[in-house]
Each structure stands twice: as C-alpha cells, then as structure tokens.
C-alpha cells in the first residue's frame, strides 16, 4: 500500500481577488521506503504540496490519502491527532523549542502521545545517539550548531514512529559539511530502517542523494525521474 497518494490536487489562493494557482491537478504516489526529492523554483508549488500532504494546509480540490486514510475534509481535531501519530516534519528553521533541551525537544511529541516514561527515555536516548548527539542530551538549541539543531529536529520527527517524514528545505541554513552529515544520517535511516523521506528542496546536494526526483513547474508536475534514468511523466 502506498504511504502517500494525491489525486487531482489543486490549491488556489485569493480565489475572489487575484487568484494564485499554487497547485494544478497534482496526482502522485509515494511508496514506503522512498527517498524522494520534490524540486522546482520558488513559486513552483513544492512547499504547498508538502504542506497539504502533511495536513498543514487544505486543498481547493482533490484529495490526499495517507496510508489508506483520506485526510481531505477531516475535522481539525482529528487531523491533529492523525498528524501526531503518522507524519514527521523537518523544517528549514528547525522549529525547536528554545527553552527545552535536546532530550526534551525529542521526547515532547511522545509526551503528547502519552507514551510511558520508560519508553520515552529509551526512544529519546536511542534517537539522539543515532544522530550523533548522545553526549548533548541536555544542551539547549542555543548551545548547538545549526547542523546539530537540524539533527535534533530529525530525531524529533522520528520519535513518534511516523509513516513518513516531510522535510521542507532541511539543508537550506546549513554549511556544506553539516548538510552532508545530515544527508548521510537521513540516507542511513532510510536504507537501514526503511524510513520514508520526502524532501522539498532546490539544494543540489539533496537532489543528488534522492533516488527519485519530482520536478514541479507552475504548480504542476513537469517530470518524475528515477535516478537510475527511468523517466515517468506527470499523469494527464
């Protein structure tokens, strides 16, 4: 079963004044274990697509199905719970809670899920060790480098054991060494633990690592390319 399916997804901002067509009939399937990059220039719709897939925005038309559940039209209260248990997010700006330690930032989502203290402790320590921050459990964001903060953000995204992770420009604020270390880590988790990653990016460093590259132009899928050279064009 695909983890993500969109059907004829459209998004129009300001429909009653100056309409902006952010998405135009996007039909897409992401299978479990993919390491996929959605690329395109600013205004191409890639971030809007990820936001709608993640339930952070609503489409004007079309539908989104996550692991067999249709989230389009879902009540906000139910959608919040669904996101909490099924979708991990990594943002360009890290979005860590500044007064929380690395440990607290990662464990917070499990607190919301009402996991046991023992489970939270074991999972948090396991994840921070996996991202190379086992010695910085009690460091706050201001005491960490940008690359370290983004690794905490990835550990936090994984904490809830989501069906997949949406990463919106995760390397944009990182230097080359930090970006490559982060990508190494995410690629390892993808290959060893079958974690599904979908990136929105214009960073060539991310695109080169992806095994599938979807290019968007003017809100529509222009091409869908497997890195082995197989090419699929957008569905009509």
- Number of domains, the chain: 1
CA-CA distances (angstroms) from residue 152 to 114, 124, 127, 219?
21, 10, 9, 32
* Helix, strand, coil percent content, the chain, rounded in steps of 5: 35, 25, 35
Which alpha helices (H) appear in 113-217, and where do they start and end?
A: 117-130, 146-159, 176-193, 204-209
Is the pLDDT at 1 greater than 90? The verdict is no
148: containing domain? 4-232
- In angstroms, the CA 82 to CA 108 distance is 16
Q: CATH no. for residue 141?
A: 3.40.50.300
pLDDT digits 0-9 by tens, 216-231: 999 999 999 998 644 4
pLDDT digits 0-9 by tens, 62-119: 999 999 999 999 999 999 999 999 999 998 888 999 999 999 999 999 999 999 999 9
């Amino acid at each position: 079963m695909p983890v993500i399916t969109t059907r004829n997804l459209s998004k129009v901002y300001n429909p009653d004044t100056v309409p902006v067509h952010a998405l135009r009939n996007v039909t897409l399937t992401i299978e479990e274990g993919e390491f996929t990059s959605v690329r395109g220039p600013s205004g191409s719709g890639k971030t809007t697509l990820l936001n709608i897939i993640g339930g952070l925005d609503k489409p004007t038309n079309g539908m989104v199905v996550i692991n067999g559940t249709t989230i389009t039209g879902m009540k906000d209260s139910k959608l919040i719970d669904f996101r909490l248990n099924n979708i991990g997010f990594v943002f360009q700006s890290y979005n860590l809670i500044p007064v929380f330690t690395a440990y607290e930032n990662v464990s917070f989502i499990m607190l919301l899920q009402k996991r046991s203290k023992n489970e939270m402790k074991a999972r948090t320590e396991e994840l921070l060790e996996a991202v190379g921050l086992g010695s910085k459990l009690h460091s706050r964001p201001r005491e960490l480098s940008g690359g370290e903060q983004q690794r905490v953000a990835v550990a936090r995204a994984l904490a809830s054991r989501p069906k997949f992770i949406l990463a919106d420009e995760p390397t944009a604020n990182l230097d080359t060494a930090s970006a490559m270390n982060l990508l190494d880590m995410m690629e390892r988790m993808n290959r060893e633990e079958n974690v599904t990653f979908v990136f929105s990016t214009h960073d060539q460093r991310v695109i080169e690592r992806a095994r599938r590259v979807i290019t968007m132009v003017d809100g529509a899928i222009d091409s869908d390319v497997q890195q082995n050279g197989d090419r699929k064009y957008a569905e009509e």
